[in-house]
Amino acid sequence: MTTEAAAGTVDLTVMYAAHDAFRRDLERLGDAAAEGTAFTPQVRAGWDNFRHQLHIHHTAEDSDLWPRVERKVAGRPRDVALLAEMEAEHALLDPRLTAVDAALKDRSAELPALVRSLASTLDEHLAHEEESALPLIREVLTPADWGAFTGRIRKTQGVRGAALFVPWIVEGAPPADRARFLGALPPPVRVLNKLFWEAGYRRRGLWVA
């Protein structure tokens, strides 16, 4: 159990770690696009995983997290408006994701510019969420509320999804960030990741030019 969970506050360690992983992957794609290596199968596999992880993340927020928070802030117009902004920002990302996907399939020369547009839009959204929405979550949700939300994600992912998600998060992370993220997970998950999942993830060769 993390210090935050023990203290009775929502532990956002995994949320911040996911945000860092999204930023990292788009930086990788931007570098590959600039270097002319973005059309390899390994980079494409890295992109496909990025889209998969982002879809799970944002779908769970829209379907479960934001409605859960909205019920807590009924009668607080500014907070209700903030949650609407979160969903609207998700919608802004969809056409940019589609454009990058099409550019990768078509080997388009526009790929670097499209990746920059996507990265800028996503980074603005993540920063807004970290500055405003995550503090609101911590204010109004209980650890039980948060556990219900994260439980929905775990159910959606299943064991196979977790076997990809956990090593994806920690790949290339600084030691302190890696330890913090893994420390927020149940001990059996840490054991599985150490013994099996990370090796399986490395064999995928995601993003290797």
Q: Give the tens place of pLDDT for each residue, 153-188.
A: 999 999 999 999 999 999 999 999 999 999 999 999
Tokens 């889209």: give the residue. 51
User: What's the pLDDT score for residue 3?
Assistant: 43
Percent of the chain with pLDDT over 90: 94
Count the neighbouring beta carbons within 10 Å of the beta carbon of residue 73. 16
User: What's the pLDDT score for residue 6?
Assistant: 43
User: What's the pLDDT score for residue 2?
Assistant: 46
Going 142 to 144 to 147 to 151, the CA torsion angle's sign is negative
pTM over 0.85: yes
CB contact set of 102 (below 8 Å; sequence gap of 6+): 108
Nearest to 89 by CA among 140, 138, 47, 132: 132
User: What's the pLDDT score for residue 209?
Assistant: 72
Q: Show the low-confidence residues of the chain (pLDDT under 50).
A: 1-6
